[in-house]
Amino acid sequence: MKLLIVDDMKSFLDLEKAFLRRAECQILTAATGLEAIKVAQNEKPDLIILDIEMPELNGIEATRILKANKDLSSIPIVIFSSTTRKEEALAAGAQEFVSKPVDEERFIATILKYVGLKFRKDERRTVDAACRFSRGQEHQEARLSDISVSGCFLVADTPLWVGETLRLFFTLPLQKMVKEIQAEAMVVRKAQTGYGLGFTDISEGAKLYIAEFVAG
């Protein structure tokens, strides 16, 4: 299965890719409406996820062109945008318009309306581990309450927002050692007790140590 994500803002592309980190699919990306049309013609994705405000050709114009192409018109298009141009987007042929900002739960629920996407069920393990995180030059203390190879749950006093990238530093107790782990993670979900994070930059070695810890 192929999903095409189109957005000129790298931060939004990275966030939506983080939402799909456990999805069993190929993720294609484009930064403009023109790029989106070219990728769609070459790759025939199963779903197109579009922003509206982009250079060269905006999302509404790109939707009209895609829907006018007999080879591409059946591909569902979902527009995620911070604009208020919902009626225009739907009139152009988009199946759905979703207002930004959006979190992981809402994003996935929307995608599943149009494609039968499957997700890996990464095993998680409860943990109570001290964690330091940095956001730019700012450093904060927090705790991890559970972890898997694809992400973790962070309990922090500092307010965080969905889409924010953090650098994490924590240790895991393994059978014969205590291993320090460093990883980059993105906030993908906000809950009452903390924040769900998805790993966006983590070494394969660190993943092996986390898998070993989770397996017990």
DSSP secondary structure letters along 149-206: SSEEEEE-SS---TT-EEEEEEEEE-SS-EEEEEEEEEEEEE-SS-EEEEEEE--HHH
Q: What is the pLDDT of residue 138?
A: 86
Spans of the chain below 70 pLDDT: none
With contact defined as beta carbons under 8 Å apart, do 77 and 65 qualify? no
Sign of CA dihedral 103, 57, 116, 21: negative
Q: What is the pTM of this model?
A: 0.85
The gap from C-alpha 177 to its chain's centroid, in whole angstroms, comes to 33
Q: What is the pLDDT of residues 68-95, one digit of tens each?
A: 999 999 999 999 999 999 999 999 999 9
190 phi/psi in degrees, rounded to 5 = -110, 130
Quote the pLDDT of residue 170: 96
Domains, the chain, with CATH or none: 2-111 (3.40.50.2300), 125-215 (2.40.10.220)
Q: Which amino acid appears at position 167 of this protein?
A: R
Q: What is the CA radius of gyration of the chain?
A: 19
User: Which pair of tokens denotes residue 51?
Assistant: 């922003």
pLDDT of 168 reads: 97
Note if the bond before 55 is cis, omega within 30 degrees.
no
With b for 16 or more beta-carbon neighbours within 10 A and e for fewer, the 136-159 pattern comes to eeeeeebebbbbbbbbbbbebeee
3-state SS assignment for residue 24: coil
Q: What is the pLDDT of residue 80?
A: 95
pLDDT at residue 25, as a whole number = 95
Phi, psi of 213 (to 5 degrees): -65, -45
CA distance 123 to 45: 29
